[in-house]
Amino acid sequence: MSLVQRISYVIDLILDYFRSKIGGFIVEIGLIVLFMTSSVRALFVKPYRYNEMVRHMEFVGNQSIGIICLTGLFTGMALSLQIYLGFKMFNAVNMVGPVVALGISRELGPVLTGLIVAARAGGAMAARLGTMRVNEQIDALDVMGVNTKQYLIAPRIAAAVICMPLLTAVFDFVSMVGSYLLCVKLVQIDEAVFWQKIRDMIEIRHINEGLFKAAIFGLVFSVVCTYRGFNTTGGAKGVGDATNQGVVQSMVMIIILDYFASNLIRLFYLVMGMN
Amino acid sequence: MESISAISLRDVKKTFDGHDYVLKGINLEVPKGSLTAIIGFSGTGKSVVLKHILGLYQPTSGIINVLGTDIGRLSPDELTKFRQKFGVLFQSAALFDDMTVLENVSFPLLEHRRELRHSQIISIAEQRLVQVGLDKKHYNKLPSQISGGMQKRTGLARALALDPEILIYDEPTTGLDPILTEMVDNLVLDTHKSRKGLTSVMVSHDLAAAFRIANYVVMLDAGKVLLSGTAEDFFKSDIELVKRFVSKGMKHS
């Protein structure tokens, strides 16, 4: 085999590898979208699963409040400290409050809440459904004539989409409490100036922007994690793999989607003639 | 035993990857009202046949007729409704681990008998648990708090909850000790005898039990039906594989 033939052979191998990977990726995305549409559609078909939805909201929302408050408080304080140290060099410490408020409400609030809840509730969703799959509990529901997507998936997705903006609002609020404690109580920025600057610069749409993103992140992590759990194969190892894949893919997608969502919102503001 | 088929498979073929066929043209008739055992070596497609009957798998080709309905023609929603005619006892019992014994048995009733009051549902669930011989003191326990035998009884009570026309047992005695195995076999037989018109299908490795309790036996080999008939037909068979299977199976038992 000549050198050219060898190189050609290696290039073919590489191209085949990427073709199969990209093809597989596209097929996977298609399957996840189909899974999501059929599950969301099932939400609006009788019998409505209010009880299940409330049960999952309690798990996704209520049981996440503690960890959201803890991380929110320290995120607000850490961010405020770093911005304070930077702004102090330019004698602009009065701007710490609004910059932290903007950063938290638009970006860090929804993204960190998304990552924390995806890890906590998304992981639990994938593990629970995966265990139900390998223990034949999902098959049992199927043969009982229960629509498994309606009973197991749709309430989890609805709960995540509803709870994520609420948790993000809690995160935003607690972060600002942290920022207040650091700025006003620790580094002695004037309290009236701190609040006035925030009032001057923050509009309700900045907060809504973050809450909108949070709902999208809720949809993403709940769909990815339930899809992974629902399609688990291979016993205990399969459950572990499904949980791992669900959480990792959700986190990566939240971070990537955040960038695109931010740009889309910016574009929307431009079209609407807002800054 | 009536002569009409409750379940009929005609030339059913199944491949998962497009070239290797797990089922290579299954022709099978399960008489209505019979207790049919599907036997065969591991990997011969017994569980795959069962999943086709339940509509969990679609055949690559062929027709599956259950109680006069070609289930291949049903939409997903119609199939979901149609499955209420089945009761299934899974190998692992497949009880919902976050529900108590009583809640597990009540669940199908809560789903499909919404016209009933809660007290009526509980009463029916308790009746089913009595029928399978489960003591009342276990009703409020979680599946993890009861023994394997009790889990099987609960699974059977749940399968019976909706008064199914077809009861399917997926290897109900695999992994159980001889005492429990005998108990489950007797439970299967008693359940079948006590419910007029019920068609029971049992996938089993336990040949002696299959011959003892089933009145119709189907043996699969390499994705095809090797022999079907009564236990006597199997003992008289000249097919070499059947002879080997029967002699080894009876020796183990």
Q: What is the pLDDT of residue B185?
A: 85
Digit-coded pLDDT (tens) for B221-246: 888 888 888 888 888 888 888 888 77
Nearest-CB residue to B111 (from A137, A143, A144): A144
Contacts of A68 by beta carbon, 8 Å cutoff, 6+ apart: A113, A116, A117, A167, A170, A171, A174
Nearest CA in chain B to A144: B84
Q: What is the mean pLDDT of residues A95-100?
A: 94
Q: Identify the weakest region by mean pLDDT among A81-85, A250-254, B16-20.
A: B16-20
Residue to substitute from A143, A146, A239, interface B, most B β-carbons within 10 A: A143
pLDDT above 60 for B79: yes
**Does B80 contact A135 at a Cβ distance shorter than 8 Å?**
no
pLDDT digits (tens, 9 = 90+) for B123-167: 999 999 998 888 899 999 999 999 888 898 899 899 988 888 999
**pLDDT over 70 for what percent of chain B?**
97
CB contact under 8 A, A145 and B80: yes
CA atoms of B154 and B139, how far apart (whole Å): 9
Instruction: Tell me the mean pLDDT in the region B57-71.
Output: 91
* A145 with B88: Cβ contact below 8 A: no
B112 near A CB under 8 A: yes
Alpha-helix residue ranges (DSSP H) falling in chain B? 46-53, 76-82, 101-112, 118-131, 148-160, 178-194, 207-213, 231-236, 240-252
Yes or no, beta carbons of A139 and B56 under 8 Å apart = yes
Is residue B192 classed as helix, strand or coil in its secondary structure? helix
Interface contact flag, A135 B92, Cβ < 8 Å: yes
pLDDT at B105: 95
Lowest-pLDDT range, A62-76, A239-253, B63-77? B63-77
Q: CA nearest B101: which of B148, B149, B150?
A: B150
pLDDT at B251: 59
Q: Does the CB of A139 have a partner CB in chain B at under 8 Å? A: yes
Instruction: Please state, rounded to an integer, the average pLDDT across all residues of chain A.
Output: 93
Residue B1 has pLDDT above 60, yes or no: no
Tokens of B83: 């499955």
> What pLDDT sits at residue A272?
85
Task: Provide, as residue numbers in chain A, all residues whose Cβ is less than 8 Å from the Cβ of B96.
Answer: 137, 140
**Residues A54-69, mean pLDDT to the nearest whole number:** 96
State which amino acid sits at residue B71. I
pLDDT digit string (tens) for A179-212?
A: 999 999 999 899 999 999 999 999 999 999 999 9
Name residues 219-238 of chain A within 8 A of B (Cβ). none
Task: Choose, out of A52, A131, A138, A144, the residue to mutate when testing the contact with B (most B CBs < 10 Å).
Answer: A144
The answer to whether A113 and A211 have CB atoms below 8 angstroms apart is: no
- Examine the pLDDT at A102 and tell me if it is beyond 90: yes
Q: Please say if the pLDDT value at position A166 is more than 90.
A: yes
What percent of chain A has a predicted confidence (pLDDT) above 70? 100
Write the CB contacts of A130 (distance below 8 Å, at least 6 apart in sequence): A228, A229, A232, A238, A239, A242, A243
Q: Is B90 on the interface with A (CB under 8 A)?
A: yes
Angle at which helix B148-160 crosses helix B101-112, to 10 degrees, equals: 20
pLDDT at A79: 95
Average pLDDT over residues B181-186: 82
pLDDT tens for each residue of A12-29: 999 988 888 888 889 989
Residue B252, pLDDT above cutoff 60 = no
Any idea how long chain B is?
253
Instruction: Report residue A82 CA to chain centroid gap.
Output: 25
B111 and A145 within 8 Å at the Cβ level: the answer is yes
- Rounded CA gap, B232 and B251, in Å? 17
The answer, yes or no, to whether residue B120 has pLDDT greater than 90, is yes
Tell me the ipTM for this assembly.
Answer: 0.83
Contact A97, A183 (CB under 8 A): yes
Question: Does position B3 have pLDDT exceeding 70, yes or no?
Answer: no
Rounded distance between C-alpha atoms, residue A20 and residue A28, angstroms: 12
Q: What integer pLDDT is reported at residue B2 of this predicted model?
A: 45
A117 versus B92: the higher-pLDDT residue is A117
Contacts of A150 in chain B (CB under 8 A): none
**For residue B249, what pLDDT is reported?**
64
> With an 8 Å Cβ cutoff, is A144 touching chain B?
yes
What is the reported pLDDT for B92? 84
Question: A137 and B81 in contact by Cβ < 8 A?
Answer: no
